[in-house]
């Protein structure tokens, strides 16, 4: 069964303290891996798509990387406005367009 596991469940950082979030997956043929950000009371907001091992994407203080078994979301010098839940999702071959989500990492950045 396809699974997506995110760690840690929660992360508290001081402003400017860089860190990484992990997303590991077991799928029978990865078609794509996606990162979303979700704020309280809102729907997930799309950040990145990664398709193959070795691929990297960047946006402001966020950088996503992908290996054959996991993805990392690196947050460099975070600010309080980066506080949110970060969700990882995967799409596998043969699954049409549906994606499987992880449970997310709740990030809190303290000023």
Partner 1 sequence: EAGVTQFPSHSVIEKGQTVTLRCDPISGHDNLYWYRRVMGKEIKFLLHFVKESKQDESGMPNNRFLAERTGGTYSTLKVQPAELEDSGVYFCASSQDGRLGGYTFGSGTRLTVV
Applying CB under 8 A, the residues found at the interface with partner 1 are 4, 31-34, 36, 41-46, 49, 51, 87, 89, 91, 95-104
Considering beta carbons, is residue 78 or 104 the nearer one to partner 1? 104
Shortest separation between residue 74's beta carbon and partner 1, angstroms: 19
Considering beta carbons, is residue 28 or 103 the nearer one to partner 1? 103
- 86 CB-contact burial (10 Å; exposed 0-12 / middle 13-18 / buried 19+): buried
Q: Which of 62, 49, 59, 52 is nearest to 88 (CA)?
A: 49
């Amino acid at each position: 069964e396809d699974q997506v596991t995110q760690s840690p469940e929660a992360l508290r950082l001081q402003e400017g303290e860089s860190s990484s979030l992990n997303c590991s997956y077991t799928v029978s043929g990865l078609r794509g891996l996606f990162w979303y950000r979700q704020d309280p009371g809102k729907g997930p907001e799309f950040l990145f798509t990664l398709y193959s091992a070795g691929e990297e994407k960047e946006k402001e203080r966020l950088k996503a990387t992908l290996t054959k078994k996991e993805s990392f979301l690196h947050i460099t010098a975070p600010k309080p406005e980066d506080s949110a839940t970060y969700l990882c999702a995967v799409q596998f071959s043969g699954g049409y367009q549906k994606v499987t989500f992880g449970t997310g990492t709740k990030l809190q950045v303290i000023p």
